[in-house]
């Protein structure tokens, strides 16, 4: 009998039994690990352990102090220019297939890229002495 004459079975609840059993096992394992680590783990609460961990750096003052906007501006500019550089990869892969039209498009892209960089440099976004 050819394969296209085979009868297609309908979807029933018993087809989902392995998935349900796997979910029950996974949830049971998660709860067992959480409860077991809580029951068997050490419970020594000292003042050093209850203090916030700051990657080995001594805590100085309140963490809720306002931070200079320059940090955020540099981070945003880094992400912006980093993402723009990512667009060079498809051109590098297909530069022969794109021909002169692709080359002119990349020259325009680089021109806009450099114009934006000159603009933010003239606006003082890279000056830290303020």
State the DSSP code for 87.
T
> Among candidates 109, 119, 104, which has minimal Cα distance to 87?
109
| Count of other CB atoms within 10 angstroms of residue 57 | 7
Find the helix or strand (DSSP H, E) in which 116 lies: helix 95-122
| Count of other CB atoms within 10 angstroms of residue 126 | 13
pLDDT by residue (tens digit) across 22-78?
999 999 999 999 999 989 988 888 887 777 766 767 777 776 777 777 777 788 888
Cα torsion angle, 22, 27, 28, 32, sign: positive
pLDDT by residue (tens digit) across 92-119?
888 888 888 888 988 998 898 889 888 8
Cβ-Cβ contacts under 8 Å for 91 (sequence gap 6 or more): 98, 102, 106
Q: Report yes or no on whether pTM surpasses 0.75.
A: no
**Which SS3 state, helix, strand or coil, does residue 127 take?**
coil
Domain-by-domain residue ranges, the chain? 69-122
Cβ-Cβ contacts under 8 Å for 70 (sequence gap 6 or more): 128, 130
pLDDT of amino acid 37: 92
Q: Which residue has the tokens 């892969």?
A: 93
């Amino acid at each position: 009998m050819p394969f296209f004459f085979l009868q297609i079975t309908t979807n029933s609840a018993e087809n989902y039994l392995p998935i349900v059993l796997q979910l029950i096992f996974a949830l049971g394992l998660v709860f067992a690990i959480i409860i077991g680590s809580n029951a068997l783990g050490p419970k020594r609460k000292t003042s050093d352990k209850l203090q916030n961990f700051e990657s080995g750096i001594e805590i100085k003052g309140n963490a809720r102090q306002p931070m200079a906007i320059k940090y955020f501006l540099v981070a945003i500019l880094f992400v912006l220019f980093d993402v723009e550089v990512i667009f060079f990869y498809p051109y590098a892969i297909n530069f022969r297939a794109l021909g002169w039209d692709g080359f002119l498009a990349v020259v325009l892209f680089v021109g806009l890229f450099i114009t934006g960089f000159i603009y933010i440099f003239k606006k003082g976004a890279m000056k830290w002495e303020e």
